[in-house]
Amino acid sequence: MPAGTFRKTAAALALLALTACDVPLATSATPKPRPPQSAPVDIRPTSEKSAALRSYFGQVQTAQLNQGLLRTDGGGPDTPFTADMHAQNFEQIVFFNEYARALQGRGGESPLRRWDAPIRMKVITGPGLPPSQARGDTETIRSYARRLSGITGHPISFFGRPNFVVIVASEDDRDMALNQAAAEIPGISAQSLDALRNLNRDTYCAVAAYAAGAGANTYTAAVALIRAANPGLLRQSCIHEELAQGLGLANDSRDARPSIFNDDDEFALLTRHDELLLRMLYDERLSPGMAAEEAAPVTRIMARELISGPL
């Protein structure tokens, strides 16, 4: 199969409008205590549809690895980029949408969007996941969230009422997990997540980010959906891309390299190039609502500060 046939994210929903009013988010300093004894694990039998999808995604990963895709080295001498290249990539990835609202066609130009309030994440794993996978994926997400917080300087925790839910679920558990996410995040209805319920087979994962506060370009909630049928590396690549897109890197660019924000799937995991994109996005010299033309002089300066020569 030709390179680029498969895509980690065929659906990245950015800035979906909420019909409900924004509700103040409660905070908590400590997590709820666990019960002294764990409840019996409820592992549901896998449906034929879910099993078929797991087989398909396994073939996808094998084909991509055989083509030299899903690299985990972060790039090297074969993927140099300069400050000017990086500034151009930043503009394409931050100031454009990969998809328009509710997945209705391609997106277009968009103002800069990011979070202002601290992010409070929660991981929801479907009951159909083996306990070992549920534990492993949860730890991967928590560890990666800590990394994202360190890169951006933006607070991300797992305490309090969530405003960013990450779902890892099978086809059989997806509706239930989405309903749970809608119930836990103020201002999000189950209906507002309908675009995540019926995904094409070649959509490995997706994220929906919402702005429901006073600022039309300031994220207040997000839901990322990772299909549990993805094998290990594909599932990890989904986590890396969707959580970073949920922070504001909403688009892909065919020119971005080495980057996970490129539909060619050459790289599986967040690269140094992508870390610099995130640092720029949350730099205090930029602000939500800025247009590409307004931000360009500043982003060129920031790129040159970060990159003194080819990387």
Q: Classify residue 32: in a domain, yes or no.
A: no
Structure tokens at 303: 């790129």
pLDDT by position in tens, the chain (length 311): 222 223 354 333 333 333 232 322 222 232 333 334 433 444 456 788 889 999 999 999 999 999 999 999 999 999 999 999 999 999 999 998 765 444 444 457 899 999 999 999 999 999 999 999 999 999 999 999 999 999 999 999 999 999 999 999 999 999 999 999 999 998 899 999 999 998 999 999 999 999 988 889 999 999 999 999 999 999 999 999 999 999 999 999 999 999 999 989 999 999 999 999 999 999 999 999 999 999 999 999 999 999 986 66
Q: Classify residue 226: in a domain, yes or no.
A: yes
Residue 107 has a pLDDT of 53
Contact (Cβ atoms closer than 8 angstroms) between residue 7 and residue 202: yes
Residue 310 has a pLDDT of 65
Q: Classify residue 61: in a domain, yes or no.
A: yes
- Please state the pTM of the whole predicted model: 0.84
> Structural domain tally of the chain?
1
Q: Classify residue 34: in a domain, yes or no.
A: no
Structure tokens at 273: 């190039």
Domain housing 56: 11-19+47-306
Q: Classify residue 41: in a domain, yes or no.
A: no
CATH number for the domain that contains residue 206: 3.40.390.10
**How would you label 98-131 residue by residue, b for 16+ Cβ within 10 Å and e otherwise?**
bbeeebeeebeebbbbbbeeebbbbbbbbebbee
Measured between alpha carbons, how far is 269 from 238 in angstroms, rounded to an integer? 9
Structure tokens at 6: 């498969």
DSSP 292: H
Q: Classify residue 30: in a domain, yes or no.
A: no
Measured between alpha carbons, how far is 106 from 24 in angstroms, rounded to an integer? 32
Q: Classify residue 131: in a domain, yes or no.
A: yes
Measured between alpha carbons, how far is 26 from 215 in angstroms, rounded to an integer? 19
| Cβ contacts of 85 within 8 Å, gap of 6 or more | 255
End-to-end CA distance of the chain, in Å? 31
Distances (CA, A) of 136 to 140, 242, 288: 6, 17, 34
Q: Classify residue 157: in a domain, yes or no.
A: yes
Measured between alpha carbons, how far is 129 from 168 in angstroms, rounded to an integer? 8
Measured between alpha carbons, how far is 53 from 64 in angstroms, rounded to an integer? 16
